Amino acid sequence: MVNRSDIHYFGAGPAPLPTTVLENAAHVLLNYKDKGLGLCEISHRSPEANEILDNTKKALITLLDIPDDYEVLFLQSGGTGGFSSTVYNLVSIWVEKKRAQIAAEVGDDDDAKVLERLRKVVDDELKLDYLVTGSWSLKASQEATRLVGAKHVNVAVDARKLNNGKFGHIPAEHEWSLTPRTSGGGPAFVYFCDNETVGGVEFPAFPHSLEGDDAPLVCADMSSNFISRKVDVRKYAVIFGGAQKNIGNTGIAIVILRKSLLPPTSKTASPDLLRALNLPVGPIVFDYATVAKNNSLYNTLPIFDVWVAGQVMEALVDKYGARRIAGQEEVSNEKARLIYEALDKYSHLYRVVPDKVVRSRMNICFRVHGGDPEKEKAFLAGAEKRGLLGLKGHRDVGGIRASNYNAVSLEGAKLLVSYLEEYAKSA
């Protein structure tokens, strides 16, 4: 029998979870707080469920120092659902702002004229900017194109163009073709994926060109580097991500958004207006205002999944105290440093895929023996014999990928480094 302590799992997601959290989960699945019912059996509208929601929110707010003017939501769509929900919500807000401006000019009572002018504004001005730096941002841009049409989607960055058709770089910001900001507007939002799980590319910092008071709404997918480093939440309109990498198990997505995007501060276009403009009307379970109004309980939320996420984050709060997420960031950086140093030391054997300045701390992607399939298979087999699992690269790109999520211990990272050294010396 293989013991859990003998295994170090580097899978990209679903990812490893802290053993103590899983041990507690095994208990609460059978009997939560001595109620005689398991956590998956209690009502999502019960006092216990509301307490779990509240505690999980508090832990995330504490870790990331989320300001009071931001809301935290839990949805069931995963990160991929975020590709759609951001379009539905932020386009609808953009349209309503334009409608209100036009109505103020021509008069609210002339609906036909307002609609006529609004159609032209949408046709001429609606743009969604996407920074495509990897597989997931590409999928996000493709979903936006599917929903609103190609003419409204501006791929301001396509990293493949500077890298022989492959991802692995982030072009310099002066090469980006962002939609111009004007006194009357700009793009409905700018989207980027903070960490690309498949190709191992991570933005080293918030893009400078998106800073400033006149910056457009910024939406970031942080599925795979959530709670791994400090984030200035104030710079974002929306942050979202699936929980199944650093935070919890598969089943929920987390959204952090400015309350100014919610009623009464902000209003969204009516479904009838969106249909008249040939724009998509989103499912009610994706509507931020509805989810926020109902404390993420508009429909049946998987409370067990929220509980797991809360346990993971509360443990980090207890561990690092006033240092908050900075403590975990130091550990994440150290693990990544050790692994990359070993790979660079034997650069004749190992080739790190992404450019050095955008290497992900979370997903360390490399090739062995120039990508020779049989030799990479042998490398993986040797790793498995040593209890180092989940190192096979994504099916779309192959190679090796060590996902360095929070639950991967420093000991596990050091054991991987030892294997890299051992393999290099015997190759």
Question: Does 108 have pLDDT greater than 90?
Answer: no
Contact 148, 128 (CB under 8 A): yes
| Domain hosting residue 297, numbered range | 58-305
Cβ atoms of 250 and 17 within 8 Å: the answer is no
Mean pLDDT along residues 119-130 = 97
Q: Both 86 and 181 in a single domain?
A: yes
Weakest-pLDDT range from 158-162, 358-362, 413-417? 158-162
Q: Which residues of 332-359 are buried (b: 16+ CB within 10 A; e: fewer)?
A: beebbebbbebbeeeeebbebbbeeebb
Of 270, 305, 340, at which residue does a domain stop?
305
Asked whether residue 239 falls in the same domain as residue 345, the answer is no
pLDDT band per the 50, 70, 90 thresholds, residue 213: confident
pLDDT-based confidence at residue 181 (cuts at 50, 70, 90): confident
**CB-based contacts of 110, cutoff 8 Å, min separation 6:** none
Backbone angles phi, psi at 238, to 5 degrees: -140, 130
pLDDT of residue 284: 97
Q: Is residue 43 domain-resident? A: no
Measured CA to CA, the distance from residue 156 to residue 131 in angstroms comes to 6
In a domain, 21, yes or no: no
Last residue of a domain, one of 305, 336, 362: 305
Q: What is the CATH number of the domain that holds 350?
A: 3.90.1150.10
Greater model confidence, 427 or 190? 190
**pLDDT mean over 164-180:** 95
Judge if 99 and 186 occupy the same domain: yes
Strands 238-242 and 253-258: antiparallel
Counted domains in the chain: 2
Check whether 183 has a pLDDT greater than 80. no
**Are 182 and 279 part of one and the same domain?**
yes
Each residue's pLDDT tens digit, 3-26: 999 999 999 999 999 999 999 999
Q: What is the structure's pLDDT at 163? A: 86
Better-predicted residue by pLDDT, 214 or 28: 28
As a whole number, mean pLDDT of residues 276-285 equals: 97
Torsion sign (Cα): 410, 415, 416, 420: positive
Would you place residue 198 in the very low, low, confident or very high pLDDT band (cuts 50, 70, 90)?
very high
Residues 328 and 301 both lie in one domain: no
> Quick one: average pLDDT of 417-421?
98
Q: What is the pTM of this model?
A: 0.97
Residue 161 lies in a domain: yes
Task: Kindly report the CATH number assigned to the domain that includes residue 282.
Answer: 3.40.640.10
Residue 212: which residues within 8 A CB-CB, separation 6 or more?
Answer: none
Question: Does 1 have pLDDT greater than 90?
Answer: no
Same domain, 140 and 252: yes
Q: Give pLDDT, residue 214.
A: 77
